[in-house]
Amino acid sequence: MSEKPKRVVVGLSGASGMAYATDLLQTLRCLEGLEVHLVMSQGAKRVLVEEMGKNPEEVEALAHAVHRSQDIGAPIASGSFRTLGMVVVPCSATSVAKIAYGLADNLLTRAAYVHLKERRPLILVPREAPLPIPTLEALLKAAQAGATILPAAPGFYTKPQSIEDLLAFMTQRILDLLGLEYPRAPRWKE
């Protein structure tokens, strides 16, 4: 029997919070034996440039495989493509709604749908504020469907000294939810 592949799918959608995504991708790249599959929405590409001054190719270089959002025939669109899970970071309100209601109209939302149907970890990292009722309802629906909702809300009990410390907190939470070991941030009372 073959060993389960160590793959993670990372989706970037068009919300503010690209620093969370790049920190996660840089950290995942450090994990030996882990294959990172990336899909970015068109909105994500725009926010990446606007928010961080990075072109998409710089971020794509952090992944082992890059899939175009229009390519719904990509491997990550199939349940037979085994992964440890998927993270959508940042996850826009539009992506939350599409995922919550199974609207798989692009590769990012299709891959998320596959993770839900296959009962694999799907972590949505919304970074919107304030949250209107339609988004709250979509977040609840996504959670009921099996997604983990992890708001981009770093903790301060670790006494962060920099933005990097705040990013590390969120990355550590994502790694924990995926079952991946890598010391990225201090833990409570450890």
pLDDT per residue, tens digit, the chain (190 aa), is 456 779 999 999 999 999 999 999 999 999 999 999 999 999 999 999 999 999 999 999 999 999 999 999 999 999 999 999 999 999 999 999 999 999 999 999 999 999 999 999 999 999 999 999 999 999 999 999 999 999 999 999 889 999 999 999 999 999 999 999 887 777 777 7
The region, left, alpha or beta by phi > 0 then psi within -120 to 50, assigned to residue 85 is left
pLDDT computed for residue 182 by the predictor: 83
- For the stretch 61-75, pLDDT in tens is 999 999 999 999 999
pLDDT score at 158 = 87
Question: Kind of pairing, strands 148-149 and 122-126?
Answer: parallel
Q: Per DSSP, what are the bridge partners of residue 80?
A: none
Q: Would you call 72 helix, strand, or coil by DSSP?
A: coil
13 within 8 A of 43, measured Cβ to Cβ: yes
The model's pLDDT over 117-129, given as tens digits with 9 standing for 90+, comes to 999 999 999 999 9
How would you list the strands of the sheet with 85-91, edge to edge? Answer: 65-68, 35-40, 7-12, 85-91, 122-126, 148-149
What pLDDT score was predicted for residue 169? 95
Backbone angles phi, psi at 121, to 5 degrees: -60, 130
pLDDT at 2: 58
Distance separating alpha carbons of residues 55 and 46, to the nearest angstrom: 9
